[in-house]
């Protein structure tokens, strides 16, 4: 409670949350003591929530994105690339800003989109700047806010708006309010189009990530207490969360992974990042990561 600033309205609620916390700690310790996993779990700010509550607060609906993407599968600009590096991390190339925290707002879609826009602008211009998720929350013409939205509409807003304000000019509050579109837009953040990764194609996804950070939707059912290592094992493919892929690689144990930038703050995962199993047998990829991907074109 002290670490995360939690306060409960009365002793009854506090006791109920404590019981949930204890059950979660048992689950975490049992997993870590088994010793046959490629990843560790850990206590974090979600430890007083049941998995159902966690899911209800942080999951989104990706059906609309799938419908739009299905109409735009023909033009993939990174098709049949050669000489793709065995591993790559866009953080090493000044194309990834610090991990952010969406808070209690269901705005993962905006954070995922902005991370990819920040990335492609940095790659093209050589300048890495934090851009504003709040600008999208407040001004997106689809009026998508904390109750979910799509990266496609977020990127489309930036295209039509002629740019996106910086985080400094338009800081994040996590509460959608009236649009302040007169705030200075960062002229270097202009995006011209949006591209889509072919469905269920990890090879195409790799080709894209080798060229720029990519926005993907995933299933977060098993993500609640992830702490470190490569997440392997059972994972659903019901897309319900948006993240940014900022690299890929292989662990010391030979497990290939995707490098995921999340928007749950530094206290989750590996300082806000996750390594997610790559090149599994299922065509959808681990946690459905290959089902729906898109990227801004600058």
258: nearest Cα among 219, 225, 216, 295: 216
Give me the catalytic one of 44, 153, 240, 262: 262
Give me the catalytic one of 44, 135, 240, 241: 241
d(CA 51, CA 189): 37
3-state helix, strand, coil in the chain (%, to 5): 30, 20, 50
CA atoms within 13 A on the CB side of 236: 12
Q: Is 277 a catalytic residue?
A: no
**CB atoms closer than 10 angstroms to residue 125:** 12
Cα dihedral 264, 268, 269, 271 in deg (nearest 10): 90
User: Which residues, in sequence order, are bridge partners of residue 258?
Assistant: 248, 276
Q: Is 108 a catalytic residue?
A: yes
Residue 213 · residue 260 · CB < 8 Å = no
Give me the catalytic one of 44, 105, 108, 139: 108
Residues labelled as active-site residues = 108, 241, 262
């Amino acid at each position: 409670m002290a670490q995360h600033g939690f306060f409960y309205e009365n002793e009854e609620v506090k006791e109920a949350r404590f019981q949930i916390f204890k059950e979660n700690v048992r689950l975490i310790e049992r997993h870590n003591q088994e010793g046959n996993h490629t990843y560790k779990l850990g206590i974090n700010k979600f430890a007083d929530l049941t998995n159902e509550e966690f899911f209800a607060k942080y999951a989104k609906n990706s059906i609309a994105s799938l419908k739009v993407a299905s109409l735009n599968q023909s033009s993939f600009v990174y098709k049949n690339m050669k000489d793709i590096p065995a591993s790559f991390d866009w953080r090493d190339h000044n194309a990834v800003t610090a991990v952010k925290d969406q808070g209690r707002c269901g705005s993962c879609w905006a954070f995922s989109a902005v991370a990819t826009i920040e990335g492609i602008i940095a790659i093209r211009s050589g300048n890495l700047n934090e851009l504003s998720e709040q600008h999208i929350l407040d001004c997106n013409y689809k009026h998508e806010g904390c109750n979910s939205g799509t990266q496609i509409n977020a990127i489309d807003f930036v295209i039509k708006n002629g740019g996106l304000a910086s985080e400094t000019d338009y800081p994040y509050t996590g509460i959608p309010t009236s649009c302040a579109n007169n705030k200075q837009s960062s002229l270097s953040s202009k995006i011209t189009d949006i591209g889509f990764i072919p469905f269920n194609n990890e090879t195409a996804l790799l080709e894209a990530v080798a060229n720029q950070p990519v926005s993907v939707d995933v299933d977060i059912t098993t993500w609640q207490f992830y702490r470190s290592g490569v997440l392997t094992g059972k994972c659903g493919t019901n897309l319900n969360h948006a993240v940014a892929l900022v690299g890929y690689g292989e662990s010391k144990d030979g497990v290939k992974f995707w490098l995921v930038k999340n928007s749950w703050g530094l206290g989750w995962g590996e300082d806000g990042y996750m390594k997610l199993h790559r090149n599994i047998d299922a065509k959808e990829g681990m946690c459905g990561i290959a089902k729906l991907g898109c990227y801004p074109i600058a």
